[in-house]
Amino acid sequence: MPVEEFVAGWISGALGLVLGHPFDTVKVRLQTQTMYHGIIDCMVKIYRHESLLGFFKGMSFPIASIAVVNSVLFGVYSNTLLMLTATSHQDRRAQPPSYVHIFMAGCTGGFLQACCLAPFDLIKVRLQNQTEPRAKPGSPPPRYRGPVHCAASIFREEGPRGLFRGAWALMLRDTPTLGIYFITYEGLCRQCTPGGQTPSSATVLVAGGFAGIASWATATPLDVVKSRMQMDGLRRRAYQGMLDCIVSSVRQEGPGVLFRGLTINSARAFPVNAVTFLSYEYLLRFWG
């Protein structure tokens, strides 16, 4: 089983992640809290109360987890394609796999990465939602002191299954939408590149950026549900399950609630995934 794809997936994922984390914090706050009136208001408030560091809350854990998650995504994707089409990464320009195979490989990678992502993502969301300013003398300490304390507290207060809160919504969110991710990327690369040639850096950037947008746009409704299920249990249990979460959110806040975070998800997705795909392709070319 070729391993370069796993390593390239890890490095490229980490580069994209740092670039996108501030957008992600704003998104999670908009999806789960009511004190902000839109993206700009949220950014200004975070900056005023929590300084620039507020945007990077909860990032240490994703940086560690992206090593596992993005390498599983890209590694499983590429190795599934190898199994389905008997072509390695290097041969795929000359012998392009069908879109059905690309979609199936993307879904497989998406499903397995979601299984690894679930506990990391839960901890990230809980930490991002702590609005206390950083350690000011006299102010009450935040509920979670950091990722390890957060994981231990969830384990203690909500049991081991508590660490997988929202995991079904996460798997449903990621399996089809990562199929869409790779189809969009490959489709755009093929459109803009004469047959058999390697796509240019500009093509990879644009195709990667739009792949991110297409995937996030389709993932947003389940992303809202996922974030809400993850925050449940912290407050009192408000939702009986995923369906209940959808129905009561829509009833209370209107159908628009399912698209909360769409703009910010898309704004984040373009640079993050442009950089992810560019570094991924370069690393593999460099090693290949």
Ligand X SMILES: C[N+](C)(C)CCCC[C@H](N)C(=O)O
Applying CB under 6 A, among 46, 82, 112, 178 the residue interacting with ligand X is 178
| Binding span for ligand X by CB under 6 A among 84-92, 146-154, 197-205, 211-219 | 211-219
Binding mask 126-165 for ligand X (x = CB under 6 A): ----------------------------------------
- Report in angstroms how near the CB of residue 54 gets to ligand X at its nearest: 20
| Binding span for ligand X by CB under 6 A among 35-43, 86-94, 174-182, 189-197 | 174-182
Applying CB under 6 A, among 269, 274, 275, 283 the residue interacting with ligand X is 269
Q: Give whichever of 41 and 57 is closer to ligand X, judged by the CB atom.
A: 57
d(Cα 186, Cα 4) in Å, to the nearest integer? Answer: 19
Q: Is 215 in the site for ligand X (CB under 6 A)?
A: yes
Phi, psi dihedral angles at 129 (to 5 degrees): -90, 5
Q: Is 76 in the site for ligand X (CB under 6 A)?
A: no
Q: Is 21 in the site for ligand X (CB under 6 A)?
A: no
Farthest-apart Cα atoms in the chain, separation = 65
Q: Is 229 in the site for ligand X (CB under 6 A)?
A: no
134: DSSP letter = S
Instruction: Say what the alpha-carbon torsion angle 244, 247, 253, 255 is, to the nearest 10 degrees.
Output: 140
3-state helix, strand, coil in the chain (%, to 5): 80, 0, 20
Q: Is 171 in the site for ligand X (CB under 6 A)?
A: no
Q: Is 272 in the site for ligand X (CB under 6 A)?
A: yes
- Report in angstroms how near the CB of residue 188 gets to ligand X at its nearest: 15
Q: Is 174 in the site for ligand X (CB under 6 A)?
A: yes
Query: Which tokens in the block code for residue 219?
Result: 């993932």
Q: Is 282 exposed, middle or buried (0-12, 13-18, 19+ CB in 10 A)?
A: middle
| Binding span for ligand X by CB under 6 A among 2-10, 172-180, 229-237, 256-264 | 172-180
| Binding span for ligand X by CB under 6 A among 47-55, 88-96, 209-217, 254-262 | 209-217
Q: Is 216 in the site for ligand X (CB under 6 A)?
A: yes
Number of H helices, E strands in the chain: 9, 0
**Is residue 218 within 8 Å of residue 180, measured between CB atoms?**
yes
91: DSSP letter = G
Query: Which tokens in the block code for residue 40?
Result: 């700009």
Applying CB under 6 A, among 212, 221, 233, 261 the residue interacting with ligand X is 212
Q: Give whichever of 84 and 217 is closer to ligand X, judged by the CB atom.
A: 217
Say which residue the tokens 């206390």 belong to. 132
Closest CA to 32 of 282, 180, 202, 253: 253
Helix axes 4-32, 60-85, angle to 10 degrees: 130
| Binding span for ligand X by CB under 6 A among 45-53, 81-89, 210-218, 238-246 | 210-218
Which residues are at the interface with ligand X (CB under 6 A)? 13, 70, 173-174, 177-178, 181, 212, 215-216, 219, 269, 272-273
